Amino acid sequence: MIAEPGLAEETASRLRNDIIGGALPPGFKLSETRLAADLGVSRNTLREVFRLLTREGLLRHEPNRGVFVAVPSMATIVDIYRVRRLIEVPALAHAWPRHDAVGQMRAAVEKARGARDAQDWRVVGSANMEFHAAIVALTDSARLQAFFAQIIAELRLAFGLLDSPERLHEPYIDRNGEILSLLTQGQQARAAEMLAAYLDESERVVLAAFARLG
């Protein structure tokens, strides 16, 4: 077996993708022995992975009963959007229009547009998240960026429960473009305002979709 640095991390990435991608549905129980065999790692290593992903909010650990894929609730959504508003809006409002991260924002917008043309809604979703991660990168805070990455992972898990990813992401692609435009023109205040309205609307849509699921 190859002994590369961070087999646990690598396995965590793999499992993270399986969870966010929907291969492992929310509420699903992850058996240690079975999953360890499937992933080709030992039980001890898998437990380290479990701890990582539990800390990230993707798994739920019930003592002496096992680990389960987290089941996002409406409270989860509300909390996540609260955090997003609190972090993203000021980040944009105080941004320096020539910050490096603006390039990441532009790249994300272009990626999303390309994927929309190709009708690849999964990539659209990724690009959308990358756009928001880039907004947080405007703060130059490593800790904030790490935290936000977790928030994004949780949000994507919640999105996985919803159908019609098109309706979920398509309306925001061009709005991201407009926000980017405003920022590059030095109109941070208007950009932040637009983002705030955007987040409010997005939260409403997601909550409504959730409510339909019961």
Partner DNA sequence: TCAGTGCATATTGTTGAACAAAGCACGGCG
Partner DNA sequence: CGCCGTGCTTTGTTCAACAATATGCACTGA
Pick the binder of DNA from 59, 67, 129, 209 (CB under 7 A): 67
* Binder of residue 31, out of DNA, its own copies, none (CB less than 5 to 8 A by kind): DNA
Q: Does 73 bind its own copies (CB under 8 A)?
A: no
In the complex, the smallest distance separating the C-beta of residue 22 from its own copies, rounded to whole angstroms, is 22
* Binder of residue 212, out of its own copies, DNA, none (CB less than 5 to 8 A by kind): none
Beta strands in 27-154 (DSSP E): 29-30, 59-62, 66-69
Q: Does 13 bind DNA (CB under 7 A)?
A: no
Helix (H), strand (E) at residue 187? none
Pick the binder of its own copies from 2, 142, 208, 213 (CB under 8 A): 142
Q: Which region, judged by CB under 7 A, interacts with DNA, from 12-20, 29-37, 176-184, 202-210?
A: 29-37
Cα→Cα distances 58→146, 152, 184, 214, Å: 15, 11, 35, 21
Distance CA 123, CA 108 (A): 10
Q: Which region, judged by CB under 7 A, interacts with DNA, from 1-9, 128-136, 148-156, 160-168?
A: 1-9
Q: Are 54 and 19 in contact (CB under 8 A)?
A: no
- Annotate each residue in 148-187 with x if it binds its own copies (CB under 8 A) or - if it does not, as one string: ---x------------------------------------
**List of residues 6+ apart from 135 with CB closer than 8 A:** 88, 91, 92, 95, 101, 105, 195
The token duo for 210 is: 């959730």
Torsion of CA 174, 149, 53, 159, to 10 degrees: -20
User: Which neighbouring-strand residues pair with 61?
Assistant: 67
Residues that bind DNA (CB under 7 A): 1, 3-8, 29-33, 40-45, 47, 61, 63-67
Residues that bind its own copies (CB under 8 A): 5-6, 8, 44, 47-48, 51-52, 55, 57, 63-64, 79-80, 82-83, 86-87, 90-91, 139-144, 147, 151
